[in-house]
């Protein structure tokens, strides 16, 4: 197995539950950093982050400017800010214009993550109502990362996964439970069989 270092997740309408289920399924010593863009209301919903942090086996927090990205933690983009990953594996937060009508934009996170992590990156696009994430997933694939999309038939709002499939011909198209299984397999396999 190639050594994955980071997992980026993008979701919009209908994506809260699959993201939550995935985060809660991760073991306490999960070997990857997890970075999430979930289109929320304009303000950050700290309650949701605290709720996830309380329930999850890994630490869940809002990403902060210049914060170093560590394995075994989940970072959520702050509300109304773009979240980018710098080449030194720290976050940068920006108030630049919306991309694909969204801020935070999945494309912005995925594109910067693809540059920072290359083939050590796993990208997942979940349920959502626009095309955000399609271009970003394509960048991840072009840089050798692993690309996964929620099966549109299992998505509450299928437009975002459908756009991502059309743009990038992802490596895997799975329902949320299948995505969790796949992530467990690729992250545990490389630890048991180096």
Lookup: tokens for 173? 């198209």
DSSP for residue 65: T
At 118 the three-state DSSP class reads: helix
d(CA 107, CA 72): 23
Known catalytic residue at 94: no
**Across the beta sheet with 121-125, what order do the strands follow?**
59-62, 73-76, 33-38, 6-11, 121-125, 146-150, 172-174
Known catalytic residue at 96: no
DSSP for residue 137: H
At 124 the three-state DSSP class reads: strand
CA 180 distance to own-chain centroid: 13
Strand partners, 130: none
Known catalytic residue at 88: no
| Residue 36, number of CB atoms within 10 A of its CB | 27
Of the residues 105, 112, 132, 159, which is catalytic?
A: 132
Strand partners, 3: none
Of the residues 12, 105, 127, 168, which is catalytic?
A: 12
Nearest partner of 159 among 177, 141, 133, judged by Cα: 133
Active site residues: 12, 39, 132
């Amino acid at each position: 197995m190639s050594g994955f270092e980071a997992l980026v997740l993008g979701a919009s309408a209908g994506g809260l539950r699959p993201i939550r289920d995935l985060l809660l399924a991760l073991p306490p010593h999960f070997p990857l950093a997890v970075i999430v863009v979930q289109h929320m209301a304009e303000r950050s919903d700290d309650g949701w982050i605290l709720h996830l942090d309380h329930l999850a086996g890994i630490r869940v927090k809002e990403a902060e400017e210049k914060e170093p990205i560590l394995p075994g933690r989940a970072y959520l983009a702050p509300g109304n800010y773009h979240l980018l990953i710098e080449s030194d594996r720290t976050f940068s937060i920006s108030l630049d214009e919306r991309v694909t009508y969204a801020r935070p934009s999945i494309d912005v996170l995925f594109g910067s993550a693809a540059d920072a992590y290359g083939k050590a990156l796993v990208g997942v696009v979940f349920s959502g109502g626009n095309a955000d994430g399609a271009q970003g997933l394509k960048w991840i694939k072009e840089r050798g990362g692993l690309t996964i999309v929620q099966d549109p038939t299992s998505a509450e709002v299928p437009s975002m996964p459908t756009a991502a499939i059309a743009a990038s011909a992802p490596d895997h198209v799975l329902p949320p439970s299948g995505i969790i299984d796949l992530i467990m397999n690729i992250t545990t396999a490389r630890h048991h069989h180096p």
